[in-house]
Amino acid sequence: MNITEKIAAELNVAAARIQAAIDLLDDGATVPFVARYRKEATGGLDDTQLRTLAERLQYLRELQERKQTVLSSIEEQGKLTDELRQSIAAVDNKTALEDIYLPYKPKRRTKAQIAREHGLAPLAEALLNQPLLNPETEAQNYLNENVADSKAALDGARAILMEQFAEDATLIGHLRDKLWREGEIHATVLEGQESAGEKFKDYFNHREPIHSMPSHRALAVLRGRNEGILALNLKYQPDDKPVGEQSIYEQLIAEQFGIADNGRPADRWLRDTVRLSWRAKIFLSLELDALNRLKENADQAAISVFAQNLKDLLLAAPAGRLTTIGLDPGIRTGVKVAVVDDTGKLLETTTIYPHQPRNDWQGALNTLMQLVKQHNVQLIAIGNGTASRETDKLAGELIRALPERKLQKIVVSEAGASVYSASALAAKEFPELDVSLRGAVSIARRLQDPLAELVKIDPKSIGVGQYQHDVNQTQLARSLDAVVEDCVNAVGVDVNIASVALLAHISGLNSTLAQNIVTYRDQNGAFANRRTLMNVPRLGSKTFEQAAGFLRIQGGDEPLDASAVHPESYPIVAKMLQTTHLRAEELIGNRSVLKTLKPSDYIDSHVGLPTINDILAELEKPGRDPRGEFQTATFADGIEDITDLKSGMILEGVVSNVAAFGAFVDIGVHQDGLVHVSALANRYVADPRDVVKAGDVVKVKVVEVDVARKRIALSMRLNDETKPAASRSDRPRRQQDKTGHNSGITDNAMAAAFARLKQ
């Protein structure tokens, strides 16, 4: 089976469609472009399928390249047989390929190689194939200047057999799979590390099957090991099994090579060779493989969660193009203030000191009132950091003082704002502005348009992932970059106001071309139409094809430029205009007329039904934003600190992060609470994302508060019973059955989750 056929089988898509997608990607097309504008060729593969296709394509091509290297190496050694060639051709993963290659892989001189050089290979073969031979007696026949006695001869023969056992690809593959299915991870605290490792206390004596260990627990114990707190071991047989008794793994090795304990002279020696092979060689290698597999699986799951949370955050509904005040709260250093206009352009900055030690409440209020009147402010964005609730009070008083302005205040996440403030991008954007004030600008802009502002920040700094520094950084960066690219292109950008950072994520563009577009715009004024983009230095026809459909021009001389209709499809719209006898501006948005058009009338040899349907949908609602309706949470008055919480309170909050074990919710007390997966709904929930996503506004009930450890247990099952804070030893476990029924209050995942929050 070739690569195309294999991917087609995995995705359950016709091979011709897969090959078309591969050809497009190889030709330089981006995933967003192919997903949106080449549906006929791919059969409508979406961006998720195309990303999977691209990843598998890379893996399988690397595998194919590695196969050629392996074949060449074995052939150079004169050991390549037809059977071996067929075995290599049939392999579908890198691990199995390396198992096959292991006996032929050039390596440092081993004990087995030295033993062969000393003429001991016939001894090893003889004892394996003729157990009736007496090892001690037979060994005497192989003494020479390099082999002093029978013990040395038998040690050499054993080394040869151990290597032979460990390099049997079929056997090792079977043992590896069995160990993964049946092995159990044991985590224990290292002596003397109890105090230093308090955050890993849930794993001081922890065990569970390795194959089913959730990502968050796997990454926790692996971090504990790396920090010198925990010891990890993979157990392959029950603790109560007699030490000398042969394990099932040793039995499998013995069976593979026809070794049995029938009382023959060599049986005992061969059995000991099997035991030593397993315990001193094979198991150690497979244990490392299993831990690596655990890490890879945990990385993949954690990265997937991070990517989904990032997507939800980037696609959060924008408040819209409204003049906004951004407030970056602070106590001693004051509240930083920035006013931006409806396009995000900075108008004015200042600092006010309503809190300790100055307590200039009235002066701060007067300053804000003046800014609101001077710039006709409509929105107030308040960062959710230190002094957020106190600053929120100030904003509330400002609204009451100016009722005619109909101001709105919203607390927004300021995660990553400080990273942006100190970045080279921020320095280039605001070279004269103090670093501390740049954060207030970012807070204001991310309320207006989260996507446009958050793309300026390294996704890893936005605070929606866990163990992000522990996972494979290359994979994480690739995954998050793909999410940003898909989100930006799904929404599209106004080329006449978009920043360099936003434009750089558009299909076909990069940071250099994005900067060229902005420079051209600054020098020549707003783009009048999409075709003008061809005048931008280094932006050629191929790039234009990839980017044009995602770049919008509002109020230009071509109405279609404000839509997602690609310029290559303008001739189709022209035919529709001829049919309806309308001008473009009259047809766009004219639902009643568009419904009379028959898509089949516009199909030709180049354009099929999917594209025609997309064009009609876009004309009906041109430039529609796929993001949801803007909504905000209202934090309860008087609930500003964890000490203000009481069991049974029902509060409104914003989902800040979603993990496999539940969702974290910001309820306005500077410490997110956790809704365990079992408390998300009155039914069984397999995946928390089936119920909530980052940015959702939800109502929660306070179930339990642990002030000392800053832990808040919440429930979205508002009829759940609550209980007063309990000591750790008194807390029963919470379990969830398939009906969604809960018993108790917490399990290890929930108890440990708070320590993992935003790590």
Q: What is the mean pLDDT of each run of 10 residues along the chain (759 residues)?
A: 92 96 97 96 95 96 96 96 95 95 92 96 97 96 95 97 97 97 96 92 95 94 96 84 79 96 95 96 96 96 92 90 95 95 94 95 96 96 90 93 92 87 92 94 94 90 82 92 95 94 96 96 96 96 97 95 96 95 94 94 90 94 83 82 91 89 88 92 91 90 89 90 49 38 38 43
- Residue 496 counted as domain residue: no
**679 and 609 fall within a common domain:** no
CATH number, position 675: 2.40.50.140
**335 and 441 fall within a common domain:** yes
- Residue 705 counted as domain residue: yes
According to the model, what pLDDT value does residue 724 have? 54
- Residue 636 counted as domain residue: no
- Residue 176 counted as domain residue: no
- Residue 329 counted as domain residue: yes
The number of folded domains in the chain is 5
Per-residue H/E/C for 179-247? HHHHCEEEEEECCCCCCCCHHHHHHCEEEEEHHHCCHHHHHHHHHHHHCCCEEEEEECCCCCCCCCCCC
**651 and 554 fall within a common domain:** no
End-of-domain residue from the set 104, 138, 162: 104
SS3 411: strand
* Identity at 38, one-letter amino acid code: R
Take residue 87 and report the two structure tokens written for it: 């075995």
According to the model, what pLDDT value does residue 108 have? 87
**188 and 84 fall within a common domain:** no
Predicted TM-score of the model (pTM): 0.84
Question: Do residues 696 and 655 lie in contact, with contact meaning Cβ atoms separated by under 8 Å?
Answer: yes
Question: Do residues 547 and 516 lie in contact, with contact meaning Cβ atoms separated by under 8 Å?
Answer: no
According to the model, what pLDDT value does residue 290 have? 97
According to the model, what pLDDT value does residue 243 have? 58
Query: Which neighbouring-strand residues pair with 706?
Result: 711
CATH number, position 14: 1.10.10.650
- Residue 228 counted as domain residue: yes
SS3 551: strand
- Residue 125 counted as domain residue: no
Domain containing residue 188: 184-235
The dihedral over CA atoms of 618, 622, 623, 624, expressed in degrees to the nearest 10, equals: -80
- Residue 687 counted as domain residue: yes
CATH number, position 395: 3.30.420.140
